[in-house]
Structure 1
Amino acid sequence: MYSNQMPEMSECIDDCLVCHRECLDTAMQRCIELGGTHVEPRHLRLILSCSELCQAAARLMMIGTEHHRQICRVCAEVCKECEEDCARLGDMESCVEACRRCAESCRKMAA
């Protein structure tokens, strides 16, 4: 657990960092290998945006600023959209799951 963090926030930080890594790895490895619709600009921008937002949300929670609520709200929305897009395209189950968990955690932190 991160210092001075409640357990729910610590879990959200972990979920965000996992999602950040999973989205980045999926975009740079899995999507490029699969090609086709997996490398369309809209999808790549979405999955990379999700990765960046997850990292930013985790960092703001680690800093301890109340601004984390705003970015967690946006992060939850983008994670949900990324989850749905990756599920639609297929062959990205670990990314779908990471986005789902992160979206749920971030929704709780945004409340």
Structure 2
Amino acid sequence: MSQQTTLSPEMLACIELCRRCQMVCLGMATGHCLEKGGRHVEPEHLRTMIVCAEICQAAANVMATNSTLHRQVCAVCADICDACISSCRDLDEMEECIFACERCKNSCEAMTSV
């Protein structure tokens, strides 16, 4: 049996923030935005939120493997979180999504050099 490397506390924290962001983006896209209607359901906005949820889940999964490839995935995740922040910023009642994306973005940016 090979010895498994333990994940750093920073990586574990980033995994949690990615998972939280995934849940918030997906939940708000399929809940709040669909119920709110109007600009909240514009195709590009919903696509951005769903893509953000997907990349956050992928980033968490890649980090969980302890592969150095997490750097590339985290860089893309940070960029997509930034796009989601921009998409949500002009809409009302999207603070929870913006906050989750900001935290995930900042943590993923830090993981690109670890």
Larger radius of gyration: 2
Kindly provide the CA deviation profile for residues 26-81 of structure 1, in whole angstroms up to 9, marking residues without a partner as x: 00000001101110110011000000000000000001111111010000011011
Aligned length: 109
CA distance in 1: counterparts of 2:69 and 2:34, whole angstroms? 34
The residue aligned with 1:33 is 35
Please report the RMSD computed on the Cα atoms of aligned residues, expressed in angstroms.
1.0
Q: Which runs of 5+ in 2 are unaligned?
A: none
* Runs (4+) off by over 4 Å: none
Does 1:68 find its partner at 2:70? yes
Cross-structure match for 2:25: 23
The answer for the alignment partner of 1:96 in structure 2 is 98
CA–CA distance in structure 1, aligned partners of residues 56 and 48 of structure 2: 12
Which of 42, 56, 59 is 2:58 aligned to?
56
Letter aligned with residue 108 of structure 1:
A
Query: What percentage of aligned pairs have identical amino acids?
Result: 46
- Write 1 or 2 for the structure with the bigger share of helix: 1
> 1:92 deviation in Å?
1.1
